[in-house]
């Protein structure tokens, strides 16, 4: 535990670490490709290191050197049966995506993770993978990890997913690489499309039409060089702090602005935020630099198709809403309940402790902004995005804030506190 005080202004330039979703995928697709894959700006967070360890256990040589990762891919049929239980740690992305790959292997695997992973819903991947012919069971019969996966010959299916989830979509597309016919996934709303973009880059035949992604069975993927853009989900804490801490001005460099991830920018602008998008680069995954200046924000309604594009940023958007004038209503975000913590309950518990006016609903929250925040003891529930969001809240609060379990930031942003320190003058 350590304490955070109100800040005067945040000023300067910052480069956030590599994107978590893209880092996971680079390791996975590189492992399944023929030849070498080089990854630069890889996120050295605990979740992505869990993915590396899982693929090492599946027989892939992965060199993790300062500055770059080298993956010696063995092709789609080159994985070996692991001699241990695979451990995905805290990572939902590792658990769900690797399940799609393991479902097609000629061996059996057991896959588990930490206490949080063992409570997260896996029926959402078990159902479609079983429809494809996979033999996948929850060892505790509760539709959660540990999972036992017996690889099988898979069939192409057209799956209509009830949730807009890139993890579900990606698990099915990865299984579809190995199926006997085309596989399609239709989502209610399009979720992040990093798998589609990167699979295509590695040579897979992936198409998208509206909210449906298609993949054809593939004989081979080819190793590539992947440069991972900065993670907009990590930039989100600095976007929020820059907008809400009076007098702030921040330049956040090389941020991924894929339209399936950029909801925080659209919402911040709609709330009256002063953000200038500079140096856009659309070569591969789009990136830009973001110039963020302190702004008087106002509340808005956030619902519908934009929700999947900002789902991981909703905790820090709650903090922006608490600092804004007027009411913010968040709807269609029931998925918040099944993240690393129940983020509806945990936001209500902790923002209330700081003096904010917030009410939880079935699928979101209602925040009456503009109430002065005061320091409090915050329980992160070991959820990295809660710990970082309340660090931003602490910068706005009178008095001292203590965040219990704040080391969980190592999941996605190990240097978060050091980076924040460079901006506090
Ligand atoms: C992710 C997808 C999202 C997101 C998670 C990362 C991914 O989860 O919340 O942090 O890398 O595919 P869902 O697929 O459950 O929406």
Tens digits of residue pLDDT in 287-334: 999 999 999 999 999 999 999 999 999 999 999 999 999 999 999 999
- Count of Cβ atoms closer than 10 Å to residue 355 Cβ: 15
Say yes or no to pLDDT of 2 above 70. no
The predicted pLDDT at position 34 comes to 98
| Ligand 1, atom nearest to 338 Cα | 15
Identify whether the C-beta of residue 230 lies closer than 8 Å to the C-beta of residue 253: yes
Q: H/E/C letters for each residue in the chain? A: CCEECCCCCEEEEEECCECHHHHHHHHHHHHHCEEEEEEECCCCCHHHHHHHHHHHHCCCEEEEECCEEEEEEECCCCCCCCCCCEECCCCHHHHHHHHHHHCCCCCEEEEECCCCHHHCCCHHHHHHHHHCCCEEEECCCCCCCCEEEECCCCCCCEEECCCCCHHHHHHHHHHHCCCCCCEEEECCCCCCCHHHHHHHHCCCCEEEECCEEEECCCCCCECCEEECCECHHHHHHHHHHHHHCCCCEEEEEEEECCCCCCHHHHHHHHCCCEEEEEEEECCCCCEEEEEEECCCCECCEECHHHHHHCHHHHHHHHHHHHHCEEEEEECCCHHHHHCCCCHHHHHHHHHHHCCCEEEEECCEEEEEECCCCECCEEECCCCHHHHHHHHHHHHHCECCEEEECHHHHHHCCCCHHHHHHHHEC
pLDDT at residue 87 tops 90: yes
Which atom of ligand 1 approaches the CA of 167 most closely?
14
* Residue to probe by mutation, ligand 1, list 25, 117, 163, 167, most atoms within 8 Å of CB: 167
- Amino acid 68: pLDDT: 97
7 within ligand 1 shell (Cβ under 6 A): no
pLDDT at 8: 85
Protein residue with its CA nearest to atom 11 in ligand 1: 21
pTM for the model:
0.98
pLDDT digits (tens, 9 = 90+) for 194-221: 999 999 999 999 999 999 999 999 889 9
How many angstroms separate the CA atoms of 317 and 315, rounded? 5
Hey, which of 88, 173, 191 would you mutate to test ligand 1's pocket, going by the most ligand atoms within 8 Å of its Cβ?
191
For ligand 1, what atom is nearest to the CA of residue 25?
11
pLDDT in the model for residue 168: 98
| Nearest atom (ligand 1) to Cα of 24 | 11
The residues annotated as belonging to the active site are 312
Residue 311 CB–ligand 1 contact under 6 Å: yes
* Mean pLDDT on 281-292: 97
Strands 301-302 and 326-330: parallel
Average pLDDT, the chain: 97
Cβ of residue 93 lying under 6 Å from some atom of ligand 1:
yes
Q: Which atom of ligand 1 is nearest to the CA of 165?
A: 14
How many other CB atoms are there within 10 angstroms of residue 410's CB atom?
A: 18
pLDDT at residue 113, rounded to an integer: 98
132: left (phi over 0), alpha (psi -120 to 50) or beta: alpha
Quote the CA–CA distance of 181 and 179 in Å, as a whole number.
6
User: Which class for 131: exposed (0-12), middle (13-18), buried (19 or more C-beta within 10 A)?
Assistant: middle
Check pocket membership of 312 for ligand 1, CB cut-off 6 A: yes
Estimate to the nearest angstrom the gap between the alpha carbon of 148 and the chain centroid.
25
Residue 123 has pLDDT above 50, yes or no: yes
Q: How far is the CA of 144 from the centre of ligand 1 (A)?
A: 16
* Residue 187 predicted with pLDDT over 70: yes
Binding site membership of 165 for ligand 1 (Cβ less than 6 Å): yes
Question: What percent of the chain stands above pLDDT 70?
Answer: 99
**89 confidence band (pLDDT: 50, 70, 90):** very high
Instruction: Name the β-bridge partners of 224.
Output: none
Instruction: Give dist(CA 385, CA 252) in Å, integer.
Output: 19
Is the pLDDT confidence value at 1 over 50?
no
Residue to mutate (ligand 1; options 21, 305, 339; most atoms within 8 A of CB)? 21
Residue pLDDT, tens place only, 154-180: 999 999 999 999 999 999 999 999 999
Residue for token pair 């958007």: 317
Q: Are 290 and 256 in contact (CB under 8 A)?
A: no
Q: Is any ligand 1 atom within 6 A of the Cβ of residue 295?
A: no
Q: How far, in Å, CA of 300 to CA of 329, rounded?
A: 6
């Amino acid at each position: 535990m350590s304490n955070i005080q109100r800040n005067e202004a945040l000023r300067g330039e910052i480069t956030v670490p590599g994107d978590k979703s893209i880092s996971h995928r680079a390791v996975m697709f590189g492992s399944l490709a023929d030849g070498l894959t080089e990854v630069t700006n890889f996120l050295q967070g605990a979740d992505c290191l869990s993915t590396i360890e899982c693929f090492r256990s599946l027989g892939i040589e992965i060199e993790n050197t300062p500055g770059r990762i080298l993956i010696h891919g063995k092709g789609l049929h080159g994985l070996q049966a692991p001699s241990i239980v695979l451990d995905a740690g805290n990572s939902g992305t590792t658990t769900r995506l690797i399940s799609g790959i393991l479902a097609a292997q000629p061996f059996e695997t057991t896959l588990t993770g930490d206490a949080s992973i063992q409570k997260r819903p896996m029926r959402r991947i078990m159902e479609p993978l079983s429809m494809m012919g996979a033999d996948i069971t929850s060892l505790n019969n509760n539709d959660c990890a540990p999972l036992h996966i017996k690889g099988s010959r898979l069939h192409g299916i057209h799956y209509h997913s009830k949730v807009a989830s890139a993890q579900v979509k990606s698990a099915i597309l990865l299984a579809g690489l190995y199926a006997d016919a085309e596989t399609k996934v239709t989502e209610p709303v399009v979720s992040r499309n990093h798998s589609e973009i990167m699979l295509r880059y590695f040579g897979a035949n992936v198409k998208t039409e509206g909210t449906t992604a298609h993949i054809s069975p593939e004989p081979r993927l080819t190793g590539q060089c992947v440069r991972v853009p900065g993670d907009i989900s990590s930039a989100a804490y600095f976007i929020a702090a820059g907008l809400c801490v009076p007098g702030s001005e921040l330049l956040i460099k090389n941020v991924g602005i894929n339209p399936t991830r950029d909801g925080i920018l659209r919402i911040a602008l709609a709330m009256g935020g002063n953000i200038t998008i500079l140096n856009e680069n659309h070569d591969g995954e789009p990136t830009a630099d973001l110039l963020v200046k302190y702004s008087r924000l106002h509340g808005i309604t956030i619902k519908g198709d934009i929700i999947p594009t900002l789902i991981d940023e909703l905790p820090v958007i709650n903090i922006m809403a608490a600092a804004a004038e007027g009411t913010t209503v968040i709807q269609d975000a029931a998925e918040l309940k099944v993240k690393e913590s129940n983020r509806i309950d945990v936001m209500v518990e902790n923002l209330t402790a700081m003096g904010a006016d917030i009410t939880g609903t079935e699928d979101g929250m209602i925040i009456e902004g503009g109430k002065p925040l005061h320091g409090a003891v915050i329980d992160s529930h070991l959820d990295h995005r809660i710990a970082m969001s309340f660090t931003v809240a602490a910068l706005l609060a009178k008095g001292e804030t203590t965040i219990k379990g704040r080391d969980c930031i190592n999941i996605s942003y190990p240097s978060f506190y050091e980076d924040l320190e460079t901006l506090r003058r």
